[in-house]
Amino acid sequence: MRTSRRLLILLPYLWLGLFFLVPFLIVIKIALSDSVTASPPYAPTFSLDEGLAGLRASLAALDFENFVWLAEDGIYLKAYLNSVKVAAIATLLTLLIGYPVAYAMAKAPQDWRKTLLLLVILPFWTSFLIRIYAWIGILKNEGFLNLTLMKLAIIEQPLAIMHTEIAVYVGIVYSYLPFMILPLYASLERTDGRLLEAAEDLGCGALAAFRQITLPLSLPGVVAGCFLVFIPAIGEFVIPDLLGGSGTLMIGKTLWLEFFSNRDWGVAAAVAIVLLTILIVPIVLFQRHQQKHQEELG
Amino acid sequence: MIRRFNIFNLTSLTFGLAFLYLPLLLVVIYSFNDSRLVTVWGGFSTKWYGIALNNDAYLEAAWITLRIAFVSATLATVLGTLSTVVMVRAGSFPGRTLFSGMIFAPLVMPEVVTGLSLLLLFVAIGLDRGFWTITIAHATFAMCYASVVVSSRLASFDRSLEYAALDLGCTPFSAFRQVTLPVIAPAVISAWLLSFTLSLDDLVIATFTSGPGSTTLPMKLYSSVRLGVSPEINALSTMLIGIVTAGVITASLVNRRQERRRQQDHRAAAAAA
């Protein structure tokens, strides 16, 4: 009985250890290795047949050269800063679009709500790639948006949106909108209606009541939604690759190119490590926030 | 909340839903376009469906993708459920903090980093890349999502039921199988469906961990999409959207019916007492 329980713990533990923790350590090791023209394209490689001396020799060969390279070449720093900027602006836009929708859902008649929730979640289940693909057809120079605007005689020349940062914002807002709406809706729906009634009875206008009651009470949802959009948006690859142009530097795309085009595994691994370091702050803040919120509810 | 659903609310809902659905609707409509030009309507036709369905490369990729999704979702659900049981039930054990960190971290890890790190592992241990490496990679990140889904259900599970089963002479294993598992079954099924969808949808991790001869549908789609919009991709996308929509709506209807039945049971039990 005790052994079977131990086995139960061991199975997922070993799985995550082997396929999550060990790969992570390997990334660190390769980030400290040198790039060489060989297969695999990095040195030193650990080999067991040289024993402890070989291990010590290869450990001694590790250095921070790749990180120095990242710091010296301005393009990486630019890519990091730009990723944070794009993710932050996109998060703000998602909040501005998501809030009124979540608010309306929370105010909608009870028997609509389940259907509305389903309608918001449904696109999330549809392939990510197809959703981005749909926007290529809309945003490109001879796409639906430009055709419509030109037919309505609002513009004469097609707007160049595709392959710009604007297209990346559209892609992020569109893909992550459900992640924003769901926590917002959850906190707005819990708002006690009696508070608003009391405010109205005491002569508070609708706008003031919203600002002083609804908005502060929905803040946990706002914070959760923003983290849920911001964190994955920073490392995003598909959206900047398909919608953004060559001028849109984002770190996920840089890592991809470094690995698949330049075949520089060391630099790619170093880019990954720095990306994770940047993400640690928002992730820890997010987890704290969730824990605090759980305790308040419980 | 004051029940006044006004014109402002209706407008924001309409615009919100239009924003979510219009792009997909355009893909669906233009998949029936006779013309090769994707933004000019040239009459109704279903020919692109025939062309997409006769494209062996797509079909082969779809078959591989489905197999990977099926195996990895099953692995992820078993491992995810086990992890949840461990976290909720086992109390303290050595390395508990490390374990909870490892089950949380993949949820927030950028896909490019997960993909890269797994690929480096597979290279280091000399595993040939292909079907199984993608499956392992998908199972690993999906098990964390599966664990989140199951844990919310397990947390609200009334443990006295299990104690009763143990008092009546059940072994811990059969108590889990006969009492706990049926109660958390809806969450386990949801976890499987979520893992399955995550696997079907993944491009980045699959690209890193795949090898020759194991191109998944998202990878195939990605390389076609990079070349531009085509009516054939519209047709393929429409089929995928249709399958997912049908699946999600069926799942939610089944869920609603179960919920209603449970409420009826509760009422009947309350009336009998």
- Residue A27 is nearest to which of B21, B120, B201, comparing CB atoms? B120
For B189-243, what is each residue's pLDDT tens digit? 989 999 999 999 999 999 999 988 899 999 999 998 888 788 889 999 999 899 8
Nearest chain B CA: its distance from A293 CA (Å) = 15
CA proximity to B143, closest of B84, B94, B189: B84
Q: Are A188 and A153 in contact (CB under 8 A)?
A: no
Q: Looking at beta carbons, which pairs linking A251-257 to residues 24 or more positions away fall under 8 Å?
A: A251/A76, A251/A79, A251/A80, A251/A83, A251/A275, A252/A83, A252/B110, A252/B111, A252/B112, A253/A79, A254/A75, A254/A76, A254/A79, A255/B112, A255/B113, A255/B116, A256/B112, A256/B204
Report CB contact under 8 Å: A144, B39: yes
Q: Is pLDDT of A145 > 70?
A: yes
For B78-124, what is each residue's pLDDT tens digit? 999 999 888 887 777 778 888 888 988 888 899 999 999 999 999 98
Nearest chain A CA: its distance from B246 CA (Å) = 10
Rounded distance between C-alpha atoms, residue A56 and residue A298, angstroms: 52
pLDDT of residue A38: 67
Confidence of residue B260 (pLDDT cuts 50, 70, 90): confident
- Residue B82 is nearest to which of A4, A12, A26, comparing CB atoms? A12
List all residues 6 or more positions away from B64 whose beta carbon is below 8 Å from its beta carbon: B131, B214, B215, B216, B217
For A12-24, what is each residue's pLDDT tens digit? 999 999 999 999 9
Report CB contact under 8 Å: A23, B226: no
| Predicted structure pTM score | 0.89
Q: How many CB atoms lie within 10 A of CB A195?
A: 16
**CB contacts < 8 A (A, B):** 241
Q: Is pLDDT of B6 > 80?
A: yes
Task: Mutation target for B interface from A93, A103, A125: give the one with most B CBs within 10 A.
Answer: A125
Q: Does A8 touch chain B (CB under 8 A)?
A: yes
Q: Is pLDDT of B3 > 60?
A: no
Report CB contact under 8 Å: B5, A17: no
Rounded distance between C-alpha atoms, residue B183 and residue B150, angstroms: 11
For A151-194, what is each residue's pLDDT tens digit? 898 888 888 889 999 999 999 999 999 999 999 999 998 888 88
Q: How many CB atoms lie within 10 A of CB A203?
A: 7
Q: Is pLDDT of A1 > 60?
A: no
For B239-256, what is each residue's pLDDT tens digit? 989 988 888 888 888 878
Q: What is the ipTM for the molecules in this complex?
A: 0.88
Q: Which amino acid is at B211?
A: G
pLDDT of residue A298: 59
Report CB contact under 8 Å: B26, A138: yes
Look over chain B and give the mean of its residue pLDDT values, rounded to a whole number: 88
**Which positions in chain A touch B172 (Cβ < 8 Å)?**
1, 5
Q: Which amino acid is at A48?
A: L
Q: Are B200 and B69 in contact (CB under 8 A)?
A: yes
Rounded distance between C-alpha atoms, residue A126 and residue A292, angstroms: 33
